[in-house]
């Protein structure tokens, strides 16, 4: 091939690659496969290697090239990067809007463009004649650091603008961030190499952007969304912010698809509510939303006070992480004897509530965190998820910080505590001799998803155990013998006793699956209880099944089969079951005949966060009724993660594993057979 036709082909390839980058990063709608894209890139690399004189800085191959440097140069922003003032309440936003209308002397509602506020790093990028030439961090707003080589490695940053009509000089401003999925992947890889991991996506993004070696930066999954412009010369820009953002997008500069223009402060507040709902399913962290007066002429009229514009405000969400002091650790004994370390904290306001306890999960987690009593720790509370400790601020460790030690004996019954090989949990060996395990198993037996005895909660169970009325589940059905004594208890009159006894009575009629689940056999959750009931059809058949027979049930492996068989071999358990049946507990046998369509058969769901149109339990019932399964944790086998408002770490895990995430609407579609 001649040099001339090579030059033409090089241009063709660059055009094609730019086009596909645009479709992939800006439109989120690729038209070729990754493999096809790779082939175009390989061909371009080969041709450029043959013709080094044809390599230009805006070629798509020129993302990683610069050598590591020992420090960043300084860049003075031609137009300063302003700061944003914050609003923490609806009232703050109303005040902001009122002040703006007063200054503009108008009673008309103002049009605002609303944007998610990314929790990343603000940067300014400079394009000359449509070619990317420089990138700088915000710094103090006047001067930032030169991060050109690193920003060049961000795949969604166009090295040359698309379309036409861009100003000869254009500075664009945006936020560099890392998605949950990218963050999880990067941390996993770092952990595999035995390297330090980052605490959150923001720190990871900051650390990656400020890498002195652009090759390292290139390996980090950084992303960008643009939200405005700085200096510009030689060309016209739209006169409204919403239009400017659309224009940027046409030039290949990625903007957030959640951006919307609304009317008046009510529109802003509605946007805030919506984004708070959506926050979970976005796949990246936002810490609030930003409202900007849409018309630039009005922005100019409003001006700014000490670096913060009067025409924009950040409406923050309640912080999900705060620091506080770990005052002590208690060990709670659960239904199966597992000891859970619970952190006692100096009370702190986080995620919208005051938190004074947080889970530390197990001893492995304590070791991983390296946490000691007396430490200053970061507590995270996202939505309805149990607060947890995510980090230790080691710099603040006091001299007298103490190690957290696993007790050798159960704090409740004094039995030995053991830690089985390959298990994270340490357990009390007391079994039902242990008051905590007895209490927890009674609570479980009465709980809504088990025997559903309304009114028999924590407090009463504790009281009844103390009075000697309750030793095991069968005693529940003899509580009526103590009716007269019960009525004498404080705050417990004739009516409430009658109500409780009625609820106990009603619970006698149940299903085999619920009864099995209520027994509290270790590793037999609702799903396994249901499959067992369906497979065997009767309690006798399950009680008599040996381990090979149990293993024929889908999802029952050798470990669970052994637990089930052990449970029913235990004399004490058989006795309690006999007494329960004698007390009149009944269900219809032969649920195996159950009919009806099972469109969700073979699909496993994991629910996280709260749903609007139903409770998590209702969602669970509807999914199982259609043959689907609901699991408690995300794995490669999970078909879908359903993310409601404020989900937990399960969402990040789903993103990491590439498990599809459904929002509430999508779940409803599936349940209603529209999906
Ligand atoms: O997403 C963001 N973090 C974001 C930051 C955004 N969507 N818009 C922003 N707009 C501005 C003004 C109104 C001052 C142009 C910002 C920021 N500023 C900002 N980021 C860091 C400091 C200021």
Quote the pLDDT of residue 33: 78
Q: Does some domain include residue 365?
A: yes
Confirm or reject: Cβ of 144 under 6 Å from ligand 1: no
Rounded mean pLDDT of 513-539?
A: 92
Residue identifier of the C-alpha nearest atom 13 of ligand 1: 312
Note down the domain range covering 136.
85-316
Whether residue 504 sits in one domain with residue 387: no
Number of domains in the chain: 5
pLDDT mean over 498-523: 94
Ligand 1 centroid distance, CA of 84 (Å)? 6
Q: Which range in 80-84, 487-491, 668-672 is most confidently predicted, on average pLDDT?
A: 80-84
Instruction: For residue 263, tell me if it sits in a domain.
Output: yes
Domain end point (choices 331, 363, 396): 396
Catalytic residue at 327?
A: no
Does the CB atom of residue 85 touch ligand 1 within 6 A? no
pLDDT, one tens digit per residue, over 357-411 is 999 999 999 998 999 999 999 898 876 678 999 889 888 899 999 999 999 999 9
User: Is the model's pLDDT at 602 over the cut of 70?
Assistant: yes
Using alpha carbons, select from 280, 352, 283 the residue that is nearest to residue 316.
352
Q: Write b or e for each residue in 532-560: b if 16 or more Cβ atoms lie within 10 A of its Cβ, otherwise e.
A: bbbbbbebeebbebeeebbeebeebeeeb
Check pLDDT > 60 for residue 591.
no
- Helices vs strands, H then E, count in the chain: 24, 24
- Of the segments 32-36, 341-345, 461-465, 558-562, which one has the largest average pLDDT value? 341-345
- Closest atom of ligand 1 relative to the 117 alpha carbon: 1
| Residue labelled with tokens 């798509």 | 60
Substitution site in 77, 122, 317 for ligand 1 pocket (most atoms within 8 Å of beta carbon): 122
User: What is the whole-number distance in angstroms between the Cα of residue 534 and the centre of ligand 1?
Assistant: 57
Whether 286 and 217 map to the same domain: the answer is: yes
Q: How confident is the model at residue 153 (pLDDT cuts 50, 70, 90)?
A: very high
Q: Is residue 72 part of a domain?
A: no
**What is the CATH number for 371?**
2.40.50.140
| Domain annotation covers residue 63 | no
Which pLDDT score is estimated for 226? Answer: 98
pLDDT above 90: residue 675? no
pLDDT band at 159 (very low <50, low <70, confident <90, very high): very high
Residue 61 is assigned to a structural domain of this protein? no
Cβ atoms of 130 and 166 within 8 Å: the answer is: yes
Residue 221 Cα to ligand 1 midpoint, Å, equals 21
Q: Are residues 35 and 92 in the same domain?
A: no
pLDDT at 617 over 90: no
Taking the centre of ligand 1 as the mean of its atom positions, its distance from the CA of residue 219, in whole angstroms, is: 26
pLDDT category at 70 given cuts 50, 70, 90 is low
- What is the pLDDT confidence band of residue 68, given thresholds at 50, 70 and 90? low
- 382 vs 286: CA distance, rounded Å: 13
Q: What is the phi-psi region of residue 307: left when phi exceeds 0, alpha when psi lies from -120 to 50, beta otherwise?
A: left
User: Is residue 236 included in any domain, yes or no?
Assistant: yes
Residue 283 has pLDDT above 70, yes or no: yes
Residue 66 pLDDT > 70: no
Distance 141 CA to ligand 1 centre (A): 11
Q: Are residues 245 and 223 in the same domain?
A: yes
Q: CB of 149 closer than 6 A to ligand 1?
A: no
Q: How many CB atoms within 10 Å of residue 405?
A: 11
Q: What is the pLDDT of residue 69?
A: 65
77 C-beta closer than 6 A to ligand 1: no
Regarding predicted confidence, which is higher, 408 or 424?
Answer: 408
pLDDT of residue 65: 60
CATH number for position 545: 1.10.150.20
* Residue where one domain finishes, among candidates 271, 295, 316: 316
Residue 353 has pLDDT above 60, yes or no: yes
Distances (CA, A) of 133 to 151, 237, 459, 565: 10, 20, 68, 70
- Note whether residue 71 is domain-resident: no
The pLDDT of residue 383: 64
The pLDDT assigned to 218 comes to 80
Tell me what the mean pLDDT of segment 238-253 comes to: 97
Domain match, 44 and 193 both? no
Annotated active-site residue in 76, 117, 278, 669: 117
**CB neighbour list of residue 433: distance below 8 Å, 6 or more residues apart:** 413, 415
Long-range CB contacts for residues 233-237, cutoff 8 Å, separation at least 24: 233/167, 233/168, 233/169, 234/167, 234/168, 234/169, 235/165, 235/166, 235/167, 235/168, 235/170, 236/167, 237/167
**Cα Rg of the chain, angstroms:** 31
Is 173 in the same domain as 306?
yes
285 lines ligand 1 (CB under 6 A): no
Domain harbouring 131, CATH code: 3.30.470.30
For residues 338 and 462, membership in a common domain is answered with no
Question: Is the same domain home to 19 and 154?
Answer: no
Q: For 305-309, 469-473, 575-579, which range has the lowest pLDDT when averaged over its residues?
A: 305-309
Tell me the CATH number at 38: 1.10.287.610
Distance in angstroms (rounded) separating the CA atoms of residues 668 and 644: 12
Give, for 288, the enclosing helix (H) or strand (E): strand 286-293
Shared domain for 385 and 418, answered yes or no, is no
Contact in structure between 176 and 123 (CB atoms under 8 Å): yes
Higher pLDDT pick, 318 / 232: 232
CA atoms of 239 and 336, how far apart (whole Å): 65
Q: Considering the chain, what is the average pLDDT of its residues?
A: 90
The answer to whether residue 483 scores a pLDDT higher than 70 is: yes
Mean pLDDT of 620-635: 86
Determine how many CB atoms are found less than 10 A away from the CB of residue 130: 19
Nearest CA-CA partner of 248 in 309, 170, 312: 170
- Domain-ending residue, one of 298, 316, 334: 316
Comparing CA positions, the residue from 424, 428, 437 lying closest to residue 361 is 424
Long-range contacts (CB closer than 8 Å, 24 or more residues apart) made by 579-585: 579/474, 580/473, 580/474, 580/477, 583/474, 583/477, 583/478, 583/508, 584/477, 584/508, 585/477, 585/507, 585/508, 585/510, 585/515
Q: What gap in Å lies between CA 23 and CA 19, rounded to an integer? A: 6
Residues 6+ apart with CB under 8 A from 156: 21, 25, 26, 223, 224, 254
* Statement: residue 590 has pLDDT above 70: no
Same domain, 564 and 613: no
- Range 642-656 average pLDDT: 81
Strands (DSSP E) along 429-587, which ranges? none
Q: Long-range contacts for 305-312 (Cβ within 8 Å, ≥24 apart)?
A: 307/80, 307/82, 307/83, 307/141, 308/82, 308/83, 308/84, 308/85, 309/82, 309/84, 310/99, 310/100, 310/103, 311/100, 312/84, 312/85
Cβ of 288 below 6 Å from ligand 1: no
User: Cβ(82) to ligand 1 under 6 A?
Assistant: yes
pLDDT digits (tens, 9 = 90+) for 181-190: 899 889 888 8
One domain, residues 221 and 358:
no
Question: pLDDT at position 593, please?
Answer: 42
Tell me the percentage of the chain whose pLDDT exceeds 70: 97
pLDDT higher for 424 or 43? 43
Residues 46 and 147 in one domain: no
Would you state the pLDDT for residue 633? 85
Residue 195 in any domain: the answer is: yes
pLDDT digits (tens, 9 = 90+) for 76-101: 999 999 989 889 899 999 999 999 99
Q: Tell me the average pLDDT across 149-172.
A: 95
């Amino acid at each position: 091939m001649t040099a001339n036709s090579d030059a033409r082909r090089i241009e063709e390839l660059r055009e094609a690659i730019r086009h596909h980058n645009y479709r992939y990063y800006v439109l989120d709608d690729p038209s070729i496969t990754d493999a096809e894209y790779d082939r175009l890139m390989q061909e371009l690399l080969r041709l450029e290697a043959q013709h080094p004189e044809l390599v230009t800085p805006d070629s798509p191959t020129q993302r990683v090239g610069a050598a590591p440097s020992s420090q960043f140069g300084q860049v003075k922003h031609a137009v300063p990067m302003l700061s944003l003032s914050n609003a923490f309440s609806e009232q703050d936003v109303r005040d902001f809007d009122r002040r703006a209308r007063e200054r503009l002397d108008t009673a008309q509602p103002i049009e605002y463009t609303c944007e998610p506020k990314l929790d990343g790093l603000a940067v300014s990028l400079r394009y000359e004649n449509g070619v990317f030439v420089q990138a700088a961090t915000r710094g103090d707003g006047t001067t930032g650091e030169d991060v050109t080589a690193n920003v060049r490695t961000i795949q969604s940053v166009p090295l040359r603008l698309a379309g036409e009509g861009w100003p000869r000089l254009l500075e664009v401003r945006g936020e560099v961030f890392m998605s949950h999925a990218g963050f999880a992947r990067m941390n996993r890889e770092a952990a595999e190499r035995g390297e330090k991991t980052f605490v959150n996506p923001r720190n990871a993004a900051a650390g990656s952007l400020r890498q002195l070696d652009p090759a390292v930066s290139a390996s980090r999954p950084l992303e960008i969304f643009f939200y405005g412009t700085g200096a510009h010369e030689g060309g016209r820009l739209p006169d409204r912010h919403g239009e400017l953002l659309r224009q940027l997008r046409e030039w290949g500069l990625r903007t957030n698809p959640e951006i919307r223009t609304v009317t008046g402060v009510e529109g802003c507040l509605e946007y805030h509510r919506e984004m708070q709902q959506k926050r979970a399913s976005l796949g990246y962290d936002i810490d609030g939303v930003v409202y900007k007066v849409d018309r630039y002429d009005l922005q100019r009229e409003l001006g700014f006070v000490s670096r913060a514009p009067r025409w924009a405000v950040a409406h923050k969400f309640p912080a999900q992480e705060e620091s506080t002091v770990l005052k002590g650790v208690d060990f709670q004994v659960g239904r199966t004897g597992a000891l859970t370390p619970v952190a006692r904290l100096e009370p702190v306001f986080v995620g919208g509530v005051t938190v004074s306890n947080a889970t530390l999960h197990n001893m492995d987690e304590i070791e991983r965190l390296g946490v000691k009593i007396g430490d200053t720790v970061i507590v995270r509370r996202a939505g309805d998820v149990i607060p947890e400790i995510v980090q230790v601020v080691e710099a603040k460790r006091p001299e007298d910080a103490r190690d957290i030690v696993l007790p050798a004996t159960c704090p409740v019954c004094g039995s030995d505590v053991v830690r089985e090989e390959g298990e994270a949990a340490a357990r009390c060996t007391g079994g039902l001799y242990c008051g905590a395990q007895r209490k927890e198993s009674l609570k479980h037996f009465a709980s809504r998803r088990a025997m559903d005895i309304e009114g028999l909660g924590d407090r009463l169970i504790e009281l009844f155990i103390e009075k000697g009325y309750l030793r095991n589940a069968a005693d529940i059905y003899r509580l009526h013998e103590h009716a007269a004594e019960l009525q004498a208890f404080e705050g417990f009159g004739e009516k409430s006793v009658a109500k409780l006894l009625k609820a106990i009575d009603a619970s006698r009629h149940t299903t085999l699956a619920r009864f099995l689940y209520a027994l509290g056999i270790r590793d037999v959750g609702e799903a396994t209880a249901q499959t067992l009931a369906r497979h065997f059809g009767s309690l006798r058949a399950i009680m008599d099944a040996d381990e090979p027979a149990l293993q024929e049930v889908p999802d029952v492996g050798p470990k669970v089969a052994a637990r089930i068989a052990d449970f029913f071999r235990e004399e004490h358990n058989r006795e309690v079951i006999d007494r329960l049946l004698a007390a009149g507990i009944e269900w219809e046998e032969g649920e195996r005949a159950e009919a009806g369509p099972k469109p969700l058969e073979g699909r496993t769901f994991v629910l996280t966060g709260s749903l609007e149109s139903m409770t998590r339990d209702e969602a669970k019932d509807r999914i199982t009724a259609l043959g689907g399964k609901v699991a408690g944790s995300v794995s490669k086998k999970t078909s879908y993660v359903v993310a409601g408002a404020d989900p937990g770490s399960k969402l990040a895990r789903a993103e990491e594993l590439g498990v599809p995430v459904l929002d509430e609407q999508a779940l409803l579609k599936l349940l209603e057979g529209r999906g």
